[in-house]
Amino acid sequence: VQHEMDHLMGKVFVEYLSPLKRDRIKTKMIKKTRDEQGRGR
Catalytic residue status for 36: no
Q: Which one of the listed residues 1, 4, 8, 41 is annotated catalytic? A: 4
Question: What distance lies between CA 22 and its chain's CA centroid?
Answer: 7
Distance CA 35, CA 12 (A): 25
Distance CA 29, CA 35 (A): 10
Q: Which residues are catalytic?
A: 4
